[in-house]
Chains A and B, each alone.
Chain A
Amino acid sequence: MRAFRYARATDPGEAAALVAGVPDAVYLGGGTNLVDLMKLGVLRPGLVVDVSGLPYDTVAHRPDGGVLIGGAVRGRRLGLDEGIRSRFPALTRALLSGASAQIRTQATVAGNLLQRTRCPYFQDTGTPCNRRSPGSGCAAIPGVHRDLAVIGTSDACVASHPSDLAVALAAYDAVVEVRRPDGEQRLVPIHELHRLPGDTPWIETVLEPGDLITGVHLPPPAAPSATYRKVRDRWSYAFAVVSVAAVLRVEAGRVGDVRIALGGVAPRPWRLWATERALVGTDPGDDDVRAATRLAFADARPLPGNAFKLDLAADLVAAVLRELR
C-alpha cells in the first residue's frame, strides 16, 4: 500500500476543494472495498478524503411515498429503516443478502454503488486486466470467468458488478443524486450510472472527477409486492452467481406492472426491459417467464465457463415471479 495523505472533510465544499486538481485523490466512505483494494495494490491513492462524516446520512421519506437515502447511510442503518422495510422489501432483502453484518455496519450506500468488480484478475496485480491496467489485456476471457458477466461485456472486459443493493435499486428505478465539485446537483438514473466496458473498461461510471454521490432517490414503489433472491455458492456471505430483484403488480390475474433486474450477469445491474414488456398484460406460466427472460438475453455473450447463467437466470426469474404471484 502506497503511503497517502488523509483528510477528513467536514462539508461537501471542502471535500471537493481537497480533491480538486489531485488526480490520485479518492473519497473514503465505509472503506470496505477501498481499503481492501489498497492493500492489494489495485488502488494506489496519494490522498484519501474521508467523506463519511458529511451530512448525507439520513433516510428521508417523502409525502408522495418516495424516499431519499443519503449516500453516507450505512447498511446497518438502512436495514433498520421501518419505511424501507415495509414498502421496499426487495431493497431490504438485497441489502441483507450482501456481505456480512460487520461489513454492513461500515459500508455506505454510495460506496456500494461504486464498489469494484470481484473479477479475480482485476484483484491480482500480477495479471493482465484492461480494467485495472488499460491495454494490458483480459486474462478472464481465456481464463477463469465462471463468476463473470454474460451480457453487456466486450472483448476487452467481462467483469460483473458485485452489488446486491444496486440490483434492487435498479428494479425500483432509483435515481442517483450527484454533487458536482461546483456544488450543482446532477441526477443520474441508476441504469445510466455504470458504463458498459466497451473499449474503455477502466471508465466504470459516468461520474467525473470530484463528483460525490450524495443520495439515492427512490420513487414511490410500483407495487408493494417485491422480493430479492440471490443464488450463490453457499448460503451466506458470498457474492451472487445470479440474483434477481423483482417488483410485481398483478391486476385481475394478469401482470399489470413488473420490474426485474438481475445481478451477477453484467457489468452493471441488468434490467430486463424486454422481459417486462413481454410479460405485461399476460398471465404467464413458468415457461412463459423463461421465454420472456431469454428475450432480454438476445445480445448475451456467454463464455464457456458461465453460459449456465443464462438458463439459471431464466429459471430464477420464473421462480421469483411464481413466489410473488
Chain B
Amino acid sequence: MSGDVVLRVNGEDRVLHLDNRVTLLDALREHLRLTGTKKGCDHGQCGACTVLLDGERANSCLLLAVAVAGRAVTTVEGLADGAEPHPLQRAFIAHDGFQCGYCTPGQICSAIGMLAEAAAGLPSAVSADLAGTAAVDLDDEEIRERMSGNLCRCGAYAGIVAAIREVAGG
C-alpha cells in the first residue's frame, strides 16, 4: 500500500516513501514542502494545481505520485532562471494578473504549457481552422479559451490575458 517513489521535481530526483494514495499535489505540498502548487478543488475543476509534466500542463491533484515516478515535474518554484523570474512571472506582476495569488502558480504553469501547445500547432475549441499545422496565432479569444481550465475567483482575467499576450507576442 506504500513504497519508495523517485520524483524528478525541478530537475532534482527526490526519493520519498509514499502511500499509494498520495497525489502528486500532496507529495509536492506535504512531503517536499513545495507549497507553491496550490490545492483549490482537488478534482481537476479549477486548475490551481497545474504543473508541467514532461513539459505538458497537467492537474497534479489527479495524478497519483506513484504513477508519475521518473517523469519530469516542473512546479512554479522551478520556473525562474536563477534569480531571474520567468518572463511570465514578470508579466503577471506588470499586468496585475492576480489579486489573492492563489490561482497564480497554476495560471503561470498553465500558460507556459499553453504557449508550447500553440507553438506545436494544437488548435483549440475556438480555432476556426482545425487543419492548419503551423503555430497558432494567439489572439485574445484563443488565450481565453485555452486558459479556461484555470479559474480565478478574484476575476483577474483581463490582467492574465494581457500578461500572456505580452509574452506570446514577444
Contact = CB atoms under 8 A, between A and B. Distances in A.
Interface of A: 1, 3-6, 8, 28, 30-32, 35-36, 39, 48, 50, 52, 76, 79-80, 82, 85-86, 89, 92-93, 96-97, 99-103, 105-106, 235-237
Contact of A6 (B20, B62, B117, B122): B20
A101 B1 CA distance: 31
B67 A96 contact: no
Interface of B: 1, 3, 19-21, 23, 42-44, 47, 50, 53, 56-59, 61-64, 66-67, 110, 113-114, 117, 120-125, 127, 130-131, 133, 144-146, 148-150
Given A93-B130, A101-B124, A102-B149, 6 more contacts: A3-B20, A32-B62, A102-B47, A102-B50, A105-B57, A236-B148
Contacts of B117: 76, 101
Contacts of B42: 39
A28 B67 contact: yes
24 contacts: A1-B21, A6-B20, A28-B67, A31-B63, A32-B44, A35-B63, A35-B64, A39-B43, A48-B64, A80-B121, A89-B130, A93-B125, A96-B124, A100-B44, A100-B59, A102-B47, A102-B59, A102-B110, A103-B59, A105-B113, A106-B58, A235-B148, A236-B144, A237-B148
B56 A35 contact: no
Contacts of B110: 101-102
A89 B21 CA distance: 38
Contacts of A48: 20, 64
Given A3-B20, A36-B44, A103 B123 contact: no
Nearest to A76: B56
A8 B133 CA distance: 35
Contacts of B124: 96, 101
A96 B127 CA distance: 10
A85 B62 contact: no
Contact of B62 (A3, A36, A97, A235): A36
B20 A4 contact: yes
Contacts of A89: 130-131
Interface-central residue, A39, A80, A97, A100, by most chain B CB under 10 Å: A100
A28 B58 contact: no
A8 B66 CA distance: 10
A256 B125 CA distance: 28
A93 B125 CA distance: 6
Given A76-B117, A85-B123, A101-B146, A6 B66 contact: yes
A85 B131 contact: yes
B130 A106 contact: no
B148 A103 contact: no
Given A4-B20, A4-B21, A92-B130, A80 B122 contact: yes
